[in-house]
Structure 1
């Protein structure tokens, strides 16, 4: 199968491209390198050094004997998007190519507008390209569990059966996103569902939880194949931050009381979920939704897991929460679709955290302490 991976230079896009290539698919990657530009803007970089994309691609061919094609450009450029889809002629398109940070989208008006324009317009250009060039292409779109927010009812997989005033209907699950980034993902989902309904497209929306881990079997084959390890307060994940703080002997910084609960999954499960979605496409006209997570923990529980796992003393420090979110809430997510397709999850209780301690230990000289403290405040983006 021919698969075009958009955002193929990113944290998840790159290992996904390698995983699909390793499993026998003909792969191309597309990227505009915006993620690397955010590093320059924020004066933060991956803890683990990463090579440029052409070097990565050449290293993969050297290690595996398999080629990955490269398209350099921006999805917001409709002409480029059409050209890439036409030239590679994919069977499936995996779409990671969006600004993915909630804090980044909440810095100020400029960053909020950029996030919405970049994500929504790029996705719309892609939908039109698919519809006009080959409507049979299967779009696998990375969404986020953050689209749902934290409702006081069970979170279904994308759709909800509703009864109101004696009548029943099936509708998209109500969304209550927590940032302008998450709002952009909601707009994407609605636009994709609309395109499936009126143009008879096929799409799988993967509402993904927080991903942890830095290595897959493919990226571990050569240091030049490494993917990112983000730890700063804008793009880093809470688990990465806690692991670094434990290694450096610093307190684990929990926002608020730590009752915020989120879905999580291992990076090895992320790339496998993509493969399963690609190899088992949605039907024409179907907008299929999978909740892509394997387990859920509160921030306080994650801190306790890191503290318990680390072979040394660890303190936990509670900070004022810079975000506007519920301190404690109900959180029960249905996530059976990918398991039914064959996903065999890795769990946080496995040995991955111990491997993360080793990765951080080898690169701790690259840590910038100042970048781990929160600087973006949700209400601070609006001048009073």
Structure 2
């Protein structure tokens, strides 16, 4: 297959491109380097140093003999987007190319507007490009489990059958997002479903949980192929923060009472989920949704898991929650689609022991302590 990966310079886009290339697909890689610009804006870098896009592409050619076809540009530019799709003529497009951090979208009005404009307009331009160039292209879009929020009913895979006043229908699952970033993903999902229903496009929406881990079989082949390890309070994940705090001998900072529950999966499972989705496409006119997670943890439980796995003394400290979210809540997620296609998940405890602690220990001098504590507050966005 010919697969175009959008956002291919990012944390997940880069290892996904390598995984697909290693699986024998012809891969195009597109990015506008916005994620690197966020580093400059916030004054924080990836814990693990990353090479330039050009160096990465050349390194992959050297170690694998395979070529990645690069495109540099912005999806909010409709002419560029259509030209890139027409130029590469993909069978499938994997879409990571969005501002991905909830805290970033909640800094202030400007960041909220940027997030929604960048994400929603970029995806709309992509839908029009697919419809114009080849409606048979399969769009694999990275959504988020955060679209659903924490409803008091089971979270189905994208769709819900309801009976109301004696009549039954199948509708998109109700969404209750918790940030302007998550709202942008909801808008994407509705726009993509509309394009499938009206134009006959085919799409798979992967509602992804929190991804952890930094190494895949392909990125391990050469240090120049490393992907990001984000730990700061804006772009870093809670697990990365806990691991760094454990290695540095700091208390693990849990927001609120720690009863919030999150769906999670390992980075090797993420790239494999995308391969499975690409190789088993949705039907024309179908908007297919997979919940992409393998385990779920309460934040307090996650902190205890890290503390127990680390070979040393670790304390846990609770901070005032900077977010506005439910604490104690019901959380039961249906996620059968990807296992049904053959996904065999990795376990969190093994990843912590085998990978995360040594990575942090090897790069501990790059940690900026001040970046670990929350600086963005949901209600503070009104005053920013």
Task: Sort the TM-score into its range (normalised by shorter chain).
Answer: over 0.9
CA distance in structure 1 between the aligned counterparts of 2:221 and 2:351, rounded to whole angstroms: 19
Structure 1: how far apart are the matches of 2:353 and 2:270?
A: 17
The equivalent residue for 1:339 is: 339
Mapped to 2, the partners of 1:309 and 1:116 lie a distance apart of 39
- Identify the residue that residue 363 of structure 1 maps to in structure 2: 363
Q: For 2:258, what is the secondary structure of its paired residue?
A: coil
- In 2, the alpha carbon distance for the partners of 1:251 and 1:194 equals 47
Matched residues in 2 for 1:61 and 1:318: separation? Answer: 47
Unaligned runs of 5+ in 1: none
Q: Distance in 2 between matches of 1:179 and 1:351?
A: 29
Structure 1 segments, 4+ long, off by >4 Å, are none
Alignment partner, residue 276 of structure 2: 276
SS of residue paired to 2:5 = strand
Equivalent residue, structure 2, for 1:102 = 102
Shift of 1:99: 0.1
Inter-CA distance 351–382: structure 2 relative to 1 (3 Å threshold): closer
Q: 1:350 aligns to what SS in structure 2? A: helix
Q: C-alpha deviations, 1:334-370, integer Å up to 9, x for none?
A: 0000000000011113244442100000000000000
Match of 1:58 in 2: 58
Q: Report the counterpart of residue 68 of structure 1 in structure 2.
A: 68
**Aligned partners of 1:254 and 1:300 also within 8 Å:** yes
Find the aligned partners of 1:275 and 1:228 in 2 and give their Cα distance.
20
Q: How does 1:1-384 map to 2 (within 5 A)?
A: 1-383=1-383
Per-residue CA shift, 1:195-239, capped at 9, x if unaligned? 000000000000000000000000000000000000000000000
**Contact kept? 1:310, 1:354, Cα under 8 Å:** no
Q: Deviations over 1:273-301 (max 9, x none)?
A: 00000000000000000000001001101
Distance 2:292 2:328 in 1: 22
In 2, Cα distance between equivalents of 1:312 and 1:145:
33
Q: Within 1, Cα distance between the matches of 2:105 and 2:383?
A: 16
CA contact (8 A) 2:215 2:355 kept: no
Distance (Å, rounded) in 2 between the aligned partners of 1:228 and 1:145: 21
Aligned residues: 384
Q: Following TM superposition, by how much is the alpha carbon of 1:135 offset from its aligned partner in structure 2, in angstroms?
A: 0.2
Question: What RMSD over aligned residues (CA atoms) do the two structures have, in Å?
Answer: 0.8
- Residues 244-293 of structure 1 deviation map (CA, whole Å, 9 limit, x = unaligned): 00000000000011011010000000000000000000000000000000
How far, CA to CA, are the matches of 2:137 and 2:275 in structure 1? Answer: 15
Aligned counterparts of 1:85 and 1:348: Cα–Cα separation in 2: 37
Q: Distance in 2 between matches of 1:274 and 1:36?
A: 24
Report if aligned partners of 1:247, 1:360 keep a CA contact under 8 Å in 2. yes
Cα pair 1:309 1:354 within 8 Å, conserved:
no
Structure 2 gap ranges (5+): none
Q: CA deviation at 1:90?
A: 0.3
Q: What are the superposed Cα offsets for residues 59-88 of structure 1, whole Å, 9 maximum, x if unpaired?
A: 000000000000000000000000000000
Separation in 1, partners of 2:351, 2:211: 15
